[in-house]
Structure 1
């Protein structure tokens, strides 16, 4: 069964005045399902507009990241490996070495799975407050871009819609550069050590 952005929007709006709370809970529980965060963020922009969509998505992302982080801290490597389907690779080594900056850089890369970063961070020595701050700061561009696409998707053909698509393309290009310049370099370094 395929679930699309409109399906998520309709489901969220079915909660009426409790829609923001339902959306935040849905976003917070995404790490347990590994559902693509970007689809939910776009639906948040579609359902609530850019400003409220950003706020609700940011809150949900911080809660969801925290849940993943603490699942890793409490239940350990075996459970996390099953949840992430062995996608952790060298993330754990990089975060142990450079904590805040690696989580921040990984969060700037929307092509890098949000949940894997959170689960991997919980297995490291990074302090929770550093993880949370890096997550908050690093997700600002991605959340803004994805909620903006949702908010502008009702205006297909308008200048603001094309600007939101341009921002997405720019974010992806910047992500590729960051991934190649910083992350892959750190992965290679971690493998050599």
Structure 2
């Protein structure tokens, strides 16, 4: 039994260990804007010479950033826009982030799903059932609204029994708008660097960007509202 528990906890232990190593070694210094400015020419030239390899390396790196929940994910997508352009950078970011999210989802489901179900009371069980009826819409809403912690959204659906294929599709669709916004910021980094300025990564919280995202999030809940309205009313 102890061996079985250890095997279930191993994926989570690996992911948490990666985060701990990253923080203890101070590796976030390699994801700084200043470092990008110093090596921009080298990076752009290497990407130009090795387009396919650089794209694959970026996707893998982004997947690891998300899987280990490293506190640098927000700066990675702008770098993708800088190196690959807005559309390709956004596409590679979506692929990498989705793969990393799947790793967290599977690790959380393996380690904690059975424990969560065993400890869940009747009220929580009803909440779980309600979530599963419209899990795609709920997850899409959470992905589209840029205020919920990304790592938390990776874990909760696993605990609530969401299917992997629905989770992956909702994640991929839900992160597209923000990826395009950040990649477009990155695509203009060359001009920003030339001016000696810093990019505005808070642009997503400006109303001209935030309102359309909130509108898309509201649309994602339409199936939930429709299901609720069609539910037969209990007779007294």
Larger displacement relative to structure 2 (95-104 or 41-50): 95-104
Q: Which runs of 5+ in 1 are unaligned?
A: 80-91, 183-193
The match for 1:172 among 197, 201, 210 is: 210
Aligned to 1:189: none
Residue 4 of structure 1 pairs with residue 28 of structure 2: no
The match for 1:13 among 6, 29, 43 is: 43
Residue 27 of structure 1 pairs with residue 62 of structure 2: yes
The match for 1:103 among 139, 144, 152 is: 139
Aligned to 2:184: 148
Q: Is the 8 A contact 1:28 1:62 kept in 2?
A: yes
CA distance in 2, matches of 1:140, 1:29: 19
CA distance in 1, matches of 2:113, 2:33: 33
Query: 1:51-71 deviations in whole A, cap 9, x for unaligned?
Result: 221121111011011111101
How far apart are 1:167 and its partner, in Å?
Answer: 6.4
Aligned to 1:117: 153
CA distance in 1, matches of 2:36, 2:105: 25
SS in structure 2 at match of 1:33:
coil
CA distance in 2, matches of 1:95, 1:152: 40
Q: Which runs of 5+ in 2 are unaligned?
A: 1-25, 116-126, 222-236
SS in structure 2 at match of 1:111:
coil
CA distance in 1, matches of 2:211, 2:99: 28
Q: Is the 8 A contact 2:60 2:96 kept in 1?
A: yes
SS in structure 2 at match of 1:34:
coil
Query: 1:110-147 deviations in whole A, cap 9, x for unaligned?
Result: 23222211122111211111111111111111000011
Q: Is the 8 A contact 1:149 1:165 kept in 2?
A: no
CA distance in 1, matches of 2:98, 2:137: 17
Aligned residues: 165
How far apart are 1:13 and its partner, in Å?
Answer: 3.2
Q: Is the 8 A contact 1:47 1:151 kept in 2?
A: yes
Aligned to 1:46: 82
